[in-house]
Amino acid sequence: MMRRMVSTAAFGAALLLVGCATPQAPAPTAERPAAGASILTWTPAQQAWGYRNIEKILTVRTIARGTRVHPLPRAGRQIEPTFTHAGRTWTVDDYMAAYKVSGVLVLKDGKILLERYGLGRGPTERWTSFSVAKSVTSTLVGAAIQDGYIKGLEDVVTNYIPELRGSGYDGVTVRQLLMMSSGVKWNEDYTDPNSDVARAGGAILEAGVNPIVSYMRRLPRGNPPGTKFTYNTGETDLVGILVSNAVGKPISQYASEKLWKPYGMERDAIWMVDPAGHERGGCCISMTLRDYGRVGQFILDGGRAAGRAVLPPGWTTEATKVQIGNGQPAPAGYGYFWWIRPNGSYEASGIFGQSITTFPEDRLIVVMNSAWPQATGRELSMARTAFVEAVRTAAR
């Protein structure tokens, strides 16, 4: 079930990229993908260039940084883990070369134990997040609750997206959206060109209504809200719209005000938008490797920035623990747009090898950006898990 779930999410993310291309984009080259082409078809050279230059291919908004940079000092002890996988011993460099990794960052107690780059990328260059963005979006829900813009997790979604009234979203709560358990019927089958994920949000359907809202409000209910986890790319975009509506400003601006500026990100980030110009709540924030690490550190440290609580008390603990089963054996499950892994970590995860993996008991964060040859795969995931476990052992 997990393989299908991740694969369909990959296809969904790719479809969301289609139709958001920058108008009159330059002609494709060996490195530059064609505007509007499915990201699943990019060549390795196009991945390596395109993932760090999304703003040159697609329409984006800026998440502005502030004047202060949160320090990530280099630890006195650096690590050089090795591990065994597929019958051989691997070094960090071996793993990065074989699995097309553009960046690895390991933080222990907020200090850098390992930082390395590949695929021609440098420390100041951004890399797209794919579905890692979902975890940022859920964090901004917490910020909006702290600020009083959203009353609470039990408030109903239709209070913030009134166009959904009279649809399958009647009575669905903010919490249920964050758990991917609205109960609304959704088909995220990447093999089916008529699936919901293939059709949702790609074009304006009604004047004045966001295209994903137009599509989602036509869907019937399939299960009682809160009873079943269903991976739903469309609903993560709804959450982004919900936050923007609640705070009365673009979610990229709110991300700047609540996270990028006060926490001290080192570079502006960029966020891909849909055909209506709204940021995709479920996909594609581009940031530097260290800023991925800062996102992880912000959550690990309880959601505080510049000495102030950005998130409600206990939010980070609740968001990163199992709120609903996702078809995997316990203790794995799903939080508020965070994957809870059986090894005690919680993870923000995106296709083609993007991840922020946090072991809270170890105060350890492992960030990886990659350009895997395919969106997902069992062997790819097993190799990454082996690498992460080797890092964890070396960091102790």
Write out pLDDT tens, residues 356-383: 999 999 999 999 999 999 988 999 999 9
Summarize pLDDT for 249-280 with one digit per residue, the tens. Answer: 999 999 999 999 999 999 999 999 998 999 99
3-state secondary structure 8-50: HHHHHHHHHHCCCECCCCCCCCCCCCCCCCCHHHCCHHHHHHH
Among 18-27, 107-116, 166-175, 195-204, the minimum mean pLDDT is found in 18-27
Would the pTM count as exceeding 0.85?
Answer: yes
Summarize pLDDT for 151-172 with one digit per residue, the tens. Answer: 999 999 999 999 999 999 999 9
Q: For residue 342, which phi and psi values (nearest 5 degrees)? A: -70, -15
| pLDDT for 11 | 42
Contact 279, 295 (CB under 8 A): no
Cα gap 163→332, rounded to integer Å = 35
pLDDT score of 84 more than 50: yes
Average pLDDT across the chain, whole number: 91
β-bridge pairing 111-117 and 101-108: antiparallel
Contact 111, 72 (CB under 8 A): yes
- What amino acid occupies position 58? L
Q: Which fold has domain 2-395?
A: Beta-lactamase (3.40.710)
Contact 7, 376 (CB under 8 A): yes
pLDDT score of 387 more than 80: yes
